[in-house]
Structure 1
Amino acid sequence: MLKGFKDFIMRGNVIDLAVGVVVGAAFTALVGAFTDSFLKPLIQLVGGGEGVAAGAWEVRDGVVFDYATFLNAAITFLLTAATLYFLVVFPMNKLAERRKRGEEPPPAAPSEEIRLLTEIRDALLAQGRTPEQSRRALDDLLGQERQQGR
């Protein structure tokens, strides 16, 4: 059970995901601080008012509609989404496009040795030998070649 867990953790995808989550959390905190420190006061200044009441409407019985906080959260989301799109999604889509166009090399043809071994196997099977007999005959043939220094 622990070996399976270790194999799971050591996969490249899991480590990449962990790094992505940590970087994403740090980036979200950075964007949140930016919007809280600069944009929310700007929204409150444009919205009028001073202090706590700025950027909020108060209706009867003290119910406050804090539209500045909502606008701040919306701007935070848009900035985070735009940055992730242009720094992660867009480059990955371009890479996938290149792969789809066939810029990756095609798989190599089988080597001459593999082709010859396939012909030998087919010839042995055509003689009516079972796969086990063919395997032994092939092993014997290869063993003789090794002994002769080929």
Structure 2
Amino acid sequence: MINEFKDFIAKGNVMDMAVGIIIGAAFTAIVTSLVDDLINPIIGLFTGGVDFSNLFWVMGGGEYASLAQARDAGATVFAYGSFFTAVINFLIIAWVVFMLVKMVNRVKASAVRPDDVAPEVDTGPSEKDLLIDIRDALRLRA
């Protein structure tokens, strides 16, 4: 059982996955900062400083100054602002990841030089071509 575990850990895919998770966690901190510290203030500037995450509707009635107060009081709230903020954050993160993947693909494409590409090798006629030639040669003999 220990040998099977060693084989499992030693596989390249597991190590690649671990590196991906670690890089993903670090990247998440960067993107979160980008969204919270740079993009959301710009959106707030255009919307007049409205904090979408604090938009809510109390379903059972009642008035609360903030979403946190309503939740602390145990009120049933429809927190549409939090959902809207999550959707905006997702779209921003998806755009950043798209741009990152696009950049990586461009770097990979520029790294492949024509010398690295194997030339096409002419393998000669196909099996079908050879059989047609044999058939034609047999017809000429007859």
Q: What band does the TM-score fall into relative to the shorter chain?
A: 0.3 to 0.5
Normalising by structure 1, what TM-score?
0.45
When Rg is computed on C-alpha atoms for both structures, the one with the higher figure is: 1
Report which of the two has the higher share of helix.
1
Normalising by structure 2, what TM-score?
0.47
Q: Which has the higher contact order (CA 8 A, sep 6+)?
A: 2
